[in-house]
A and B are shown apart, each in its own frame.
Chain A
Amino acid sequence: MSGTFRTALLVGLAPLVFAVVGVVIVDAQLRGQLQAAAQDRLAAELQGFGALYDQRRIVALREAIAYRAAVGDPAGSHYVLTDRQGGLLAGTLEAWPDGLVPGETEHLSIGGVRYLGQAETLRGGFDLGVAVSLERDGQTQKTMRGVFAAFGALMLGGALLAAWLMALQARARTARLNAALGRVGGPGGMAQRMPREDPPGTEHAALARNIDAMLDRIAHLFDAHQRLGNAVAHEMRTPLARIRARLDSLDLEDAARAGLDEEIRTTIRLFDSLLSIAQMDVEAGNTAGLVPVDLSALCEGLIELYAPVAEDAGQTVTGNLGADATILGDAQLLSQMVSNLIENGLKYTGPGDVITVNVQRKGVKVLLRVSDTGPGIDAALRARLFAPFARGEATRAKPGHGLGLSLVRAIALRHGATARAPETEKGFAIEVEALHFSARYQ
């Protein structure tokens, strides 16, 4: 049951509960009123007969009751008159009804019908009993309850229907908003804006407007960040190019020139990495320009490239490359990603250590895992491993800028893949999980 449905149902049912309470009170009132009316009727009858007896004695009373018995009472009332010995003098009944005691008002059942009866002993010792039918009062009450129940059922049905319709509408609106927000995280999502389906001035229109304003602001900051990053990286290349060109015309020793060249090369690599990360962020999840790439074959080539380098340092680069590991990708970027991971392994392990590149298909995913048997990393670094310029205390002495894994993550994101550093018993590992090529077209 959705939250909107629950709220709408509550709003619909609250008046119904009040209505039911009202009906119960009205019903009790009505029952009291009807009973009072029956009692008044009884009192009036007894008073009338009493007066007749006082004025014209028993014979007239007996005749009056006999007449009533012969003609019949339209309201179905019963009358009974007995002598001092209890012998029946006149009446609509064969005998004095059970339970009727002179001086008392009693509920009676005569011939299966409910009556309200009252008896009185006249001054001559005659007992006079009158019973008025409650049948019609019961009918009135029953009809009233039926009408109230029918209205109650209609209200309940109406509340349920209204709640359902409101929930349906709210859910559809929320779903559209969610879908639009979901697309913000997708390729080119920064250009996405909320659907405008409500008249301006309503709270939903204000919500959509506020989300859009927020997205505009984020997009602007994002764009400014990108442009600054690109501008810095590009603009730095031209002066560096001049420095390099002038370096050539200087009379420098080879070693000094090589050292300066290497510094420039390192600086360029830093800019390239920053530029690539910025570029990947823009293109994250966008499949345009990607082609099927066999990740196992790509890794095999890179293992072959790095194996001699590792061997010279007493390390080993090996692979466990499964079949059917094709993903949609950019071979150059994927090569750079795997190359970064292997070079990381080579850099942070020592002689005797093994760097293993593992590629396996797991259902709709292809899992790349580059692990090593080195000293691993501490927990504090693990948390910010993929952040730019993150470097461990123990590795500060090693060359590099701490951009390698940022670039790995950026390239993974560019391919709609996720990069993570799983806990390992020994050494260090990075896993990248990408969607298998076939899963893109299902």
Chain B
Amino acid sequence: MASEDEAQERILVVEDDADMAAALSNACAELGFEPVLAASMAEGIAFAARQPFALAILDRMLPDGDSADTIARLRATGSVPHVLMVSALAHAGHRVHGLDRGADDYLAKPFAPEELRARIRALVRRGRQGQGDTDFLVFDGLQIHVKARTVHHDADHIALSPKEFDLILYFARNAGTPLSRMQLLEHVWNLHFDPQTNVVDVHVGRLRRKLQSQTGRAWIHTARGAGYWFGPEDALG
């Protein structure tokens, strides 16, 4: 059995469409992971039985059926801590079904490569850090109290609305990782559709300006083509 460190470097990609498989593999490689390609769920499960992975990216409709139905078998190998499902079945019902069956995240095809990279990063990061039970997040003088739902910069309290707090908390838990607008909408507002207006940009812009005016420095940055990332300027992961 390979070591845990090696596992952190590998991503299992199960996709039967050659072009899509190449795009998924490229995204993994660009993020510094080694993609291991399987063309069917059976093959993917066989790979997972031999070695651990940091993440599995599954296409939904595979030659051997709906992969949502076999996520449990893949999980049972104990080698796949996180599953990102990628599918042309993009209806809200499909998404919910995929998540219910055990996928950690669901990305509808077609997707922007940045969106895919953001999702991969967030999931791998979650695997590395574990889900934060931490009550206290600190970034260079910016302190976030999770239970008390307050934010301070040094000794100054920064007044935030409940939604602004949810937003900064999600950013802070993924500090240094670019987050897409869809990711923010899904995790902060629990909305799984693409609105026509730039709602996310407006909310992020307001929080960004509020933090900047009260701390005198930038905390939320635009990630080119992808969305936004949070942290001190030099902290982009």
Contact = CB atoms under 8 A, between A and B. Distances in A.
Interface residues of B, number: 36
A309 B110 contact: no
A275 B90 contact: yes
Contacts of B234: none
Contact of A308 (B17, B109, B202, B225): B202
Interface stretch (A328-336, A376-384, A420-428): A328-336
A268 B23 CA distance: 19
A346 B90 contact: no
A279 B193 contact: no
A235 B90 CA distance: 12
Contacts of A234: 88-89
A221 interface: no
Contact of B224 (A240, A242, A254, A268): A254
B109 A248 contact: no
Contacts of B224: 254
A235 B91 CA distance: 14
Given A245-B23, A254-B225, A346-B197, 18 more contacts: A238-B109, A240-B109, A240-B110, A241-B20, A244-B110, A244-B111, A268-B194, A269-B196, A275-B90, A305-B163, A305-B203, A306-B197, A306-B199, A312-B202, A332-B92, A332-B192, A336-B92, A347-B196
A279 B193 CA distance: 15
Interface residues of A, number: 44
B92 A330 contact: yes
Contact of A276 (B17, B20, B22, B91): B91
Interface string B183-211: 00000011111111111001100100000
Interface of B: 17, 19-20, 22-23, 26, 88-93, 96, 108-113, 163, 189-199, 202-203, 206, 224-225
A28 B203 CA distance: 103
A245 B88 contact: no
Contact of B196 (A257, A275, A400): A400
A370 B198 CA distance: 20
A257 B225 contact: yes
B163 A272 contact: no
A258 B225 CA distance: 7
